Amino acid sequence: MNKKLQYSVIHYGLCALFFFFIYILQSTPGFLEFWSFKPLLLAACTVSMAVFEQEYAGALFGAFAGALCDLSANTYFGFNAIMFMLCGLAVGLLCEYLTQRNLRNCMWFTAAFLVLVCTINYFFQLGIYKYPNAEFYWLKKTVGTTLPTLVLTPPVYWMFGYLHRRFEQYKEL
Amino acid sequence: MQEFFQSTKAKILLAVLVLLGAFMLRAIWTGGFSPMASQLLGAVATPFQRAAADVSSGVDHFFERFVRAGQTADENEKLKSEIVRMNKQLVELEELREENRRLKTLVGIQEEHKDMEMVPAALIGRDYNSRFGSFTIDKGSHHGISPRDPVISEEGLVGIVSEVGLTHSKVITILDVSLNVGAMDNRVRETGIVSGNMELAGEGKCLMNYLSRESGAFAGDLVITSGSDKSGLFPEGLVIGTITEVQAESSGLSLYAVVEPAAPIYDLHDVCVITDFLGQGEVIG
pLDDT tens digit string along A39-48?
889 999 999 9
**Inter-chain contact B38–A67, Cβ cutoff 8 Å?**
yes
Q: Which of B129, B172, B175 to mutate to test the interface with A (most CBs of A within 10 A)?
A: B129
**Inter-chain contact B123–A40, Cβ cutoff 8 Å?**
no
**Inter-chain contact B20–A63, Cβ cutoff 8 Å?**
yes
Residue B282 pLDDT grade (very low, low, confident, very high; cuts 50, 70, 90): low
Domain boundaries, chain A: 3-171
**Inter-chain contact A71–B133, Cβ cutoff 8 Å?**
no
For position B104, what pLDDT does the model report?
62
Would you say the ipTM is above 0.85? no
Interface list for B 151-180 with A (CB within 8 A) = 162, 165, 168, 170, 172, 177-178
Quick: pLDDT tens for A55-86: 889 999 999 999 888 887 877 888 889 999 99
Return all residues near B143 (Cβ < 8 A) that are at least 6 apart.
Answer: B119, B121, B167
A25 and A152 Cβ atoms separated by less than 8 Å: no
Q: Using the predicted structure, report yes or no on whether residue B188 has a pLDDT greater than 60.
A: yes
Q: Using the predicted structure, report yes or no on whether residue B113 has a pLDDT greater than 80.
A: no
**Inter-chain contact B127–A82, Cβ cutoff 8 Å?**
no
B5 against A20, higher pLDDT? A20
DSSP letter assigned to residue A164: H
Per-range mean pLDDT, top range of B6-15, B110-119, B128-137: B6-15
A78 against B66, higher pLDDT? A78
Residue in chain A nearest B269 by alpha carbon: A29
Chain B residues lying within 8 Å of A56, measured CB to CB: 9, 13
| Closest-CA distance of chain A to residue B1, Å | 7
Quick one: average pLDDT of B81-109? 69
CB distance from B38 to chain A under 8 Å? yes
| Closest-CA distance of chain A to residue B156, Å | 20
**Inter-chain contact A29–B53, Cβ cutoff 8 Å?**
yes
Residue B99 pLDDT grade (very low, low, confident, very high; cuts 50, 70, 90): low
| Closest-CA distance of chain B to residue A164, Å | 20
Q: Using the predicted structure, report yes or no on whether residue A172 has a pLDDT greater than 70.
A: no
In single-letter form, the type of residue at position A87 comes to C
Interface list for B 177-206 with A (CB within 8 A) = 177-178, 198-199, 201-202
CA pseudo-torsion sign B261, B264, B268, B271: negative
**Inter-chain contact A76–B60, Cβ cutoff 8 Å?**
no
Q: Using the predicted structure, report yes or no on whether residue B285 has a pLDDT greater than 50.
A: no
Task: For residues B15 and B279, give the distance between their C-alpha atoms in angstroms, rounded to a whole number.
Answer: 46
Percent above pLDDT 70 for chain A: 97
| Closest-CA distance of chain A to residue B50, Å | 8
Residue B131 pLDDT grade (very low, low, confident, very high; cuts 50, 70, 90): confident
For position A153, what pLDDT does the model report?
93
Residue A91 pLDDT grade (very low, low, confident, very high; cuts 50, 70, 90): very high
Please state the separation of Cα A121 from the chain's center in Å.
16
Quick: pLDDT tens for A150-161: 999 999 999 999
Question: What average pLDDT is seen over chain A?
Answer: 87
| Closest-CA distance of chain B to residue A103, Å | 23
Quick: pLDDT tens for A99-120: 888 899 999 999 999 999 889 9
**Inter-chain contact A89–B27, Cβ cutoff 8 Å?**
no
Quick one: average pLDDT of B129-145? 85
Task: For residues B198 and B177, give the distance between their C-alpha atoms in angstroms, rounded to a whole number.
Answer: 7
Q: Using the predicted structure, report yes or no on whether residue A31 has a pLDDT greater than 80.
A: no
Classified by CATH at the fold level, domain A3-171 comes out as Arp2/3 complex 21 kDa subunit ARPC3 (1.10.1760)
For position B161, what pLDDT does the model report?
92
Residue B108 pLDDT grade (very low, low, confident, very high; cuts 50, 70, 90): very low
CA distances for B147 relative to B34, B141, B164, B194, B273, angstroms: 10, 9, 6, 20, 11
Q: Using the predicted structure, report yes or no on whether residue B181 has a pLDDT greater than 60.
A: yes
**Inter-chain contact A71–B38, Cβ cutoff 8 Å?**
yes
For residue B259, give the H/E element and its range.
strand B254-261
Q: Using the predicted structure, report yes or no on whether residue B107 has a pLDDT greater than 60.
A: no
Q: Using the predicted structure, report yes or no on whether residue B18 has a pLDDT greater than 70.
A: yes
Helices A79-97, A103-125: crossing angle, 10 deg rounding: 150
**Inter-chain contact A40–B128, Cβ cutoff 8 Å?**
yes
Query: Which domains does chain B possess?
Result: 117-276 (2.40.10.340)
Quick: pLDDT tens for B215-249: 888 888 899 998 765 567 888 888 899 999 998 88
Least CB–CB distance from B129: residue in A36, A75, A134:
A75
B28 against A161, higher pLDDT? A161
Grouping H, G, I as helix, E, B as strand and the rest as coil, residue B77 is helix
Q: Using the predicted structure, report yes or no on whether residue B283 has a pLDDT greater than 80.
A: no
Chain A residues lying within 8 Å of B41, measured CB to CB: 67-68, 71
Least CB–CB distance from A27: residue in B16, B126, B178:
B126
Task: For residues B259 and A159, give the distance between their C-alpha atoms in angstroms, rounded to a whole number.
Answer: 46
